[in-house]
Structure formats: C-alpha cells, structure tokens
Amino acid sequence: MTKSMDTNTVEIFKMEHKKSLEMKISQLRDTILEDDIILEREMIKMFAESLVAHGKPKSKIAQISRALGELLGLNVRYCNRLEEAAKIYDIGNVMICKEIYAKEEKLSFEEFKVVKNHTVIGHFILKAQGLPITDLASVISLEHHEWWDGGGYPSQKKSYDISIASGIVAVADTVGALFRKRPGREAWEYKKIVEYIRSRSGIQFNPKVVDALVSNKEIISKILHAKI
C-alpha cells in the first residue's frame, strides 16, 4: 500500500510539475509576443514618421487600403496587418533624394531609374526587420508598382502573381497621390480619380480591387476627405 501511495505521489508531482512548466512556457510565449508587438509598433511609428518627414505621408493610404480589404471580404486580422503595412511600404523613398521628387519638369531617364529603385530598397529594409507586419510591407514595397498586364516594375509580374495586398495598396496609393497637389501638377478631383482608375482596370490595376473602389466610392471618398 505504501508503494502504491508513493507511486501516486510521484505521478501527482509529475502532473503538477508539467502544469507548472506549461504555465511558465505560456507566460514566456506571451512575454515574447508582447515584446514583438511593442517592437512592431515602434518600428511602424519610426518608419511612418520618416515618410512624413520626407513628404510622403501614408495614413490616408493605409485607411483606404484597410477599407478596400474589408470590402473585398478579407478577414479582420489580415486587414489590421494590411493597414499597418500600408503605413510603411514606401520606406524606400526616404533613400531617394528629395530634390528629384520636388522637380516640376518630367524626370530624366536616369532620374526615373533612381526613383524606381525605391521598391527594391524598401523591400530589403523592411524584410531585414523580420517581423510579421514588416514582412507584409516588404512584399507590398516590391510589388506596388507592378501592373496587372505585366507592364510595371521592378519584375514585370502580372495578374495573380501580384499579391492581393500589393494590388490593394497600388490602388490606394494612386488615389492618395492624385488627390494631393504635387510639383508641376494640381490635385485631381475625386470623381476624376475614380474614372482614371476604372480606365486602368485590367491594365495597371487588379480588376477586383477596382470594382471594390468603384462600387463603394462614397466610402473611400469619406476617408479621403476626412481631416486627420
């Protein structure tokens, strides 16, 4: 009977020890996850502030990207990540001379080559961070100037070889860019922007994303015209 009690005591001890270990592992996992979330937030904040300082704010583009993602039926978690990634995907631009973007006349061939490099530069900067949102942002950085028909850059990807995130941000980026006054160009009216994007469906832009914009243009308009 003593032997049976000893065996039971050992088993109980093992079970309690296992529970204790599992709890510690769970707490450690939560701590690591919390640290990653804090690091991600700080990274996004730093990159977003760099873009604002470089004259490339992305908050509206991020909001439009999220709205388009939701309209396309993407899940909430993905839309959350998409919105954060859309704040920083263009980080490669901070490595491009401001004077090039400030030019009113058409860029030279060499200047345009320099500008196009921002996609690859941004990709490597973001990929090097090794975090879930920066990983998604690195893909968007590389692909947001690819065209649906293969006529974009840097890799001439086309159709569904371009990620849905990049397809969404490409449309949101164009909306945001055309709505803002730029050197040598006045801001466009929203109606004109929508018509332009519709005309580029299946050429430059993912047709599904264009349909989501055109069918819900009032929703996107509210985001675009809202004060930050």
Structural domain that includes position 25: 2-225
Given a cut of 70, the residues of the chain with pLDDT beneath it are: 1-40, 43, 47-48, 50-57, 228
Q: What pLDDT score was predicted for residue 29?
A: 54
What are residue 182's DSSP bridge partners? 185
Q: What is the pTM of this model?
A: 0.80
* pLDDT value, residue 100: 79
**Given this model, what pLDDT does residue 16 score?**
66
CATH number, domain with residue 216: 1.10.3210.10
Give the count of domains, the chain. Answer: 1
DSSP letter, residue 108: P
| pLDDT recorded at residue 26 | 58
Q: Which of 194, 136, 201 is nearest to 166 (CA)?
A: 136
Q: Angle 59-71/76-85 helices, nearest 10 degrees?
A: 160
pLDDT at position 27 is 59
